[in-house]
Structure 1
């Protein structure tokens, strides 16, 4: 019986736009090779419009799980049959399980990955955080910070009355918020010279600069923050944490 099960092809993949840089395919392909999961394969589905998800689900034989990345973590929601409690609260999905009868259930493993990754860096003075960006990933970060009892505010290029504009960030704000999390794609390969527009001299050794970007390993955001003494971390460990959580979901 076991051999029969092993032979059944199981397909996984990543839905996103311009995702050649992505870590997921390499990570899962290596995992399958190392563990001799010869019946498993992982593909990138680089799509121009979220509507293409329907065709992928219909035409891909043996598809059991998908990761979702920028810019579809929110626009995927209407295509799902079910959404986990946490993903519903967050309002963004980065992991989908696909049942035998092609029913889709959405989860958010980003918040788990981020929470586990930032936790070891936290000290008593880390009470408040600025989240740079307002996309799907920022919502997962906010949810994780809430779980860690850390207050937060969002920073946006086009702020609403509930958000902070980049031009408002001064020494007083840096004094109040000692965790700065970049959830924007600024600085991701190949656009490695880009970075969020901040006064990086305001970072101190009491600050944490956390960047969800992991390619390059040290973004310009992290380099500049580190130069002023900040404790820095990239998104690589967060990614591994969320990928492993996704793997558990797909194998429930």
Structure 2
């Protein structure tokens, strides 16, 4: 469902992604962990083409992201804004900050994309939005404005808004990092439910126990490279690198103990 092939990305002289390659199968949940600044969030933004990348290629459901190869295959040509926008409907993304429109109610926030981008009727969009609010446990908050919702509730509305576009894959960028600790579980429950339903997902998180419980595969990023890759239990029990051992040591008080 997602193919990342030799992707490199630099900001000026700082190379943040170094020839990254991996695949995500349909229905698979891949969790990215690693220290801040290791390239995890940048990679997600490249997959949704919110960031350009200088080398390599990314495909979502078989469609190239950002660039098309020339007939000879040696030269990349940037896609049109229309092609890029079409790609983004396949890959829903949810960020640390909820980015809800403050002057729109929860249900209006969810309806906007399907109506404005996909041309869905307001009646159909409202029905689907109400179903999504029920899915994320907020059926009774449809007419609440973001200022009337807790951080965890706003994040769940943001997830419902992304799902309203009926994406093939979902990308989550540290969606609990801005939440108070008591609100984290309600958002993680929503991600667990999506996993159970078979949604293809890439999740960047610092929630180690969640990563261990939900991920089919765990990728550990360090300085722009993937240095550990495997099923969570295998990676935690048999780390191959000293850097990963040091990273998980602070969680070993029961959170991720092998």
TM-score by length of 1: 0.29
- Greater share of strand residues, 1 or 2? 2
Higher relative contact order (CA 8 A, sep 6+): 2
TM-score by length of 2: 0.28
